[in-house]
């Protein structure tokens, strides 16, 4: 069965600190996609990144970076020099496109609080 | 990506009544989904809205409680029937964009409070 685990329920950091959000997934499929979403207090889910199972290259986008390691089934998300606007709940999700359903399995989310 | 709107954005309803939530997309999409997010929780998939046929419901969700319509490729509705306080949640629709590796894009959500 597919599963996504975000063990960190809540993290608090002081502005300008770096913070890493962990995501561990389980799947028997060889083809899958991983995603990160941000949910600010307004409630809308904002798409951040997609990574497919064949591409283990790490990615950097401004202050955001993602580390995908198939060997440990992890897809961690790092925010460098955090800002108050980064305060939100972050969700990791797994999708199996070969199933034909394109459904997501969401993790339980990590609430990030960045203090000024 | 896709631009998605939902109506209403929020509502307060009496128990025993029903509320219909609308989801409109700015382009034709194959897959549309409805999620529920209970307070402080993650997202739970209610059903996949299929165009021209009955929705596909996840375990624990039934058509009598959450009837869904999808008359075309840009619009869907979710009705929350015979509401109770336990139905107080955020309800979100999403679409999967086939040309973009099936990334899902979410609407702004409908915050429902049942009193």
Interface size A-B, in CB pairs within 8 Å, comes to 51
Report yes or no: B106 and B77 within 8 Å, Cβ to Cβ: no
Residue pair A107/A4 in contact by the 8 Å Cβ criterion: yes
By the CB < 8 Å criterion, does B92 face chain A? yes
> Which of the residues B4, B39, B42, B92 would you substitute to probe the A interface, choosing the one with the greatest number of A C-beta atoms within 10 Å?
B42
Average pLDDT over chain B, rounded to an integer: 93
Mean pLDDT of the A4-12 span:
97
Closest CA to A55 of A63, A72, A67: A67
Q: Which of A38, A21, A18 is nearest to A90 (CA)?
A: A38
Task: List the single residue in A with minimal CA-CA distance to B58.
Answer: A103
Percent of chain B with pLDDT over 90: 80
User: B101, A50: Cβ pair inside 8 Å?
Assistant: yes
pLDDT at A89 over 70: yes
Q: Which two tokens stand for residue B1?
A: 């990506």
Residue-wise pLDDT tens digits, B18-38:
999 999 999 888 889 999 999
- pLDDT tens for residues A95-116? 877 667 778 999 999 999 999 9
Q: What 3-state DSSP class applies to B56?
A: strand
- pLDDT value at residue B22: 98
What is d(CA A23, CA A67) in angstroms, rounded to the nearest whole number?
10
Select from B103, B107, B112 the residue whose CB has the most chain A CBs within 10 Å, as the one to mutate to test that interface: B103
B49 pLDDT exceeds 90? Answer: yes
Tell which wins on pLDDT, B69 or A103: B69
Q: How far, in Å, CA of B111 to CA of B104, rounded?
A: 20
- Phi/psi at B75 (5° precision): -145, 145
- Please judge whether A106 and B43 are an interchain contact, meaning their C-beta atoms are less than 8 angstroms apart: yes
Q: Do A42 and B108 touch (CB under 8 A)?
A: yes
Question: B60-66 — which CB contacts under 8 Å span 24+ positions?
Answer: B66/B34
DSSP calls for A69-99: EGGGTEEEEEESS--GGG-EEEEEEEE-GGG
């Amino acid at each position: 069965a597919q599963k996504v685990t975000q063990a960190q329920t809540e993290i608090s950091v002081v502005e300008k600190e770096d913070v890493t959000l962990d995501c561990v997934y389980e799947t028997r499929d060889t083809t899958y996609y991983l995603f990160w979403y941000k949910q600010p207090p307004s409630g809308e889910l904002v798409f951040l990144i997609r990574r497919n199972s064949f591409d283990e290259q790490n990615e950097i986008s401004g202050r955001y970076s993602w580390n995908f390691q198939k060997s440990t089934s992890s897809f961690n998300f790092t925010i460098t020099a955090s800002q108050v606007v980064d305060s939100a709940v972050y969700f990791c999700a797994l999708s199996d496109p070969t199933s034909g359903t394109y459904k997501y399995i969401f993790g339980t989310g990590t609430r990030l609080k960045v203090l000024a | 990506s896709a631009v998605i709107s939902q109506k209403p954005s929020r509502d307060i309803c009496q128990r025993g009544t029903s509320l219909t939530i609308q989801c409109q997309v700015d382009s034709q999409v194959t897959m549309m989904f409805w999620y529920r997010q209970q307070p402080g929780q993650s997202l739970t998939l209610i059903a996949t809205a299929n165009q021209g046929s009955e929705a596909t419901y996840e375990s624990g969700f039934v058509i009598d409680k959450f009837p869904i319509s999808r008359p075309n490729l840009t619009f869907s509705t979710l009705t929350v029937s015979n509401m109770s306080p336990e139905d107080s949640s955020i309800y979100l629709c999403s679409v999967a964009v086939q040309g973009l590796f099936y990334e899902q894009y979410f609407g702004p959500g409908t915050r429902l409070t049942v009193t």
